[in-house]
Homo-oligomer: A and B are copies of this chain.
């Protein structure tokens, strides 16, 4: 009974569309200011301030005050995992994007993005599949690193990432693909490495990333991964998503 109260309290933090929008935005792993969150969600700064305070008090967000700014980030990987998990259980999005702007943004997000600290979208899934195909991950065992995978990762990074509280590798079923991709400490290390080496770079201010020419070559060398195929895949699943409706406009706008 006291148990159900605390569960309800936690869920209530995410049970509001504005707070949920905050958390989803913060899934990019970076720190946003209170005002940025307000504009992003389309509410008054005063409203955002109250929401942010509740999320911090509830332990979901961590804050850093700097001058007149209040920087907010997710409290940790476990919170990010929680949000992802909940998003994964959400019914598929029925509303097609309205404007050309939002359509382009949605396409970029589906193709490649970060999911807190690891890769997601078609790129994340493709990397995970390629690693599984080379026996670096074990698809039957929750996509855990195999012995070969550990060696491969240590060779790539110089050392295996340290494991404190979070698992070394974990799957994250993502929001657009509905397929598992690599998360956990190894997923985060791999993503950080890709940013360091400029294999990937952020597009604008959101979660979307693009593969650089460097990255295209590196991923081909490392995993036989053809990143150009990310577009082909998109067309296939688009066809599935809309169930045969208006494939024309969808295809035309996305060009």
Contact = CB atoms under 8 A, between A and B. Distances in A.
Contacts of A5: 17, 20
The CB with the most chain B CB atoms within 10 A, among A5, A20, A138, A171, is that of A20
Interface in A133-182: 138, 140-146, 150, 163, 167-171, 175
B14 A7 contact: yes
Q: How many copies does the complex hold?
A: 2
Interface stretch (A90-98, A192-200, A229-237): A90-98
Interface in A1-47: 1-8, 10-21, 23-24, 41-42
Contacts of A142: 141-144, 167-170, 184
Contact of A4 (B3, B21, B78, B144): B21
B175 A3 contact: yes
A87 interface: yes
A59 B88 CA distance: 13
Nearest to A14: B11
Interface of A: 1-8, 10-21, 23-24, 41-42, 59, 78-79, 81-83, 85-87, 89-91, 93, 95, 138, 140-146, 150, 163, 167-171, 175, 184
26 contacts: A1-B17, A2-B95, A3-B21, A3-B87, A5-B20, A6-B90, A6-B91, A7-B14, A7-B23, A7-B24, A7-B86, A7-B87, A7-B90, A8-B14, A8-B15, A8-B16, A8-B19, A10-B90, A11-B15, A11-B86, A15-B15, A82-B86, A140-B144, A141-B141, A142-B143, A144-B144
Please list the 4 inter-chain residue pairs (A to B) with the smallest Cβ-Cβ separation, ordered nearest first: A141-B144, A11-B14, A4-B21, A15-B15
